[in-house]
Amino acid sequence: MVTAAQVWAALEDIPDPEIPVISLVDLGVVRDVQVDGDRVHVQFTPTFLGCPALEVMRRALTEKVEALGAEADVEVVVDDSWSTDRISAAGREKLRAAGLAPPAPRAAGPTTLVQLRSKAFRCPYCGSTDTRLENIFGPTPCRSLRWCESCRQPFEQFKTI
Amino acid sequence: MRANARARRLLELADDELIVGWRDSEWTGIAPTLEEDVAFSSIAQNEIGHARALYEVAARELDTDADALAFDRRPDEYRCAPLVELHLLDWGRTIARRYLYEEADRVRIDALKADGDTELAGLAAKIDREETYHRLHAEMWAGRLRDEPRFREAIDELWPYALGVLEPGLRPELARRVGLEPIEAKERGEHTPQLAELWEEMTEVRRSAPGATW
């Protein structure tokens, strides 16, 4: 019989399908693991609803649990429980090292244009905050595009949601 | 009966999001700048993702699946508002619709977040986090085009349609937000001819192989 700790450890190896430098556990989308005999119940919550990787994640979680010799019951919970504040400190550092600026902490209210146009966003390559907004949207729903005036190159910024 | 009322409500929301997402996707590859190609493609993806999540809840009520709800109904069975159906390949009118739709959607989402249906309230709150960025995009463009006569005309043209997105009780709040006078709405229920044209294209592949597993 597996323990919840073993399941969590196994799930830590599953990379995000679109940002493989970070695991689903670091991303904070695995919400709960319950072991009931040979049956493992995993709750996870999608980042963005339009994310095409949803099915890939569900399948990866199922396969990982089954590889431990348990029966997998993966439940997708669509509620408001995930925000970018759930990304772990280790996960944020992995994003930055891969050239993807981690999301700013979620402020009391929703993000504003004034915030996006401010100098609060740090370039993941050179560390300068002399960066400007290029596009609110990017190659996936979770990213914006910015330009670093200091090292003169574009970079992707994880959106705060 | 109660279940039917819930399903109808979900289908109104889901159909609005699917059809507006489909219309937004028409800009992929032909927007005036590459950045707007990326923006409209991403917005379309989000809206269709919201539709999928809403159809999945509705599908449980109606004992079917999300794809069947999205693609296997006849055009007259869709419950979307006329605003999202319009074929607007004009930048000023497109931005006017994006702005008015997002403002109307914000009023609707705020109401849903406080709803007694906790599953729907939770989903609305999640959708709201993503819509924040659509609103910023619309706000940015509406600010740029504010003094353009073509944009002003488009807002006036689409205003009755925008009111029709919302149930009557929520319309004064929309009027207050956008600074326009409440007038007679273009109501949900009767479709524009553009919906049938869109439907032909949207369902063409699925209809080509009925019952296939994709």
Residue B214 within any structural domain of the chain:
no
Which residues between 16 and 45 in chain A have a beta carbon less than 8 angstroms from any beta carbon of chain B? none
Residue B34 within any structural domain of the chain:
yes
Residue B213 within any structural domain of the chain:
no
Residue A117 within any structural domain of the chain:
yes
Q: How far apart are CA A7 and CA A67, in angstroms?
A: 10
> Residue A79 and residue B125: Cβ atoms within 8 Å?
yes
Average pLDDT, chain A: 92
CB atoms within 10 A of CB B167: 12
Kindly tell me if the per-residue pLDDT of B15 is higher than 60.
yes
Of B35, B43, B129, the CB nearest to A161: B129
CB atoms within 10 A of CB A35: 17
Determine if the pTM surpasses 0.90: yes
Residue A110 within any structural domain of the chain:
yes
Residue A90 within any structural domain of the chain:
no
Residue B199: band (very low, low, confident or very high) from pLDDT cuts 50, 70, 90: very high
The pLDDT of residue B1 is 39
Q: Which of A35, A34, A61 is nearest to A46 (CA)?
A: A61
Percent of chain A with pLDDT over 90: 74
The pLDDT of residue A44 is 92
> Residue A49 and residue B46: Cβ atoms within 8 Å?
yes
In this structure, what CATH number is given to the domain that contains residue B186? 1.20.1260.10
In this structure, what CATH number is given to the domain that contains residue A35? 3.30.300.130
Considering the domain architecture, whether residues A105 and A68 belong to the same structural domain is answered as: no
Longest Cα–Cα distance in chain A: 56
Residue A87 within any structural domain of the chain:
no
Q: How far apart are CA A153 and CA A87, in angstroms?
A: 26
Which residues between 129 and 148 in chain A have a beta carbon less than 8 angstroms from any beta carbon of chain B? 134-141, 145
The pLDDT of residue B176 is 98
Residue B204 within any structural domain of the chain:
yes
ipTM: 0.87
**What's the average model confidence in pLDDT over B4-29?**
96
In this structure, what CATH number is given to the domain that contains residue A141? 2.20.25
* Tally of structural domains, chain B: 1
pLDDT digits (tens, 9 = 90+) for A117-151: 888 899 999 999 999 999 999 988 889 999 999 99
> Residue B39 and residue A139: Cβ atoms within 8 Å?
no
Question: Domain span at residue A140?
Answer: 101-158
DSSP state of A15: B
* Tally of structural domains, chain A: 2
Question: Domain span at residue B187?
Answer: 2-208
Give which of B18, B22, B25, B129 to mutate to test A binding, by max A Cβ within 10 Å: B129
Kindly tell me if the per-residue pLDDT of B190 is higher than 70.
yes
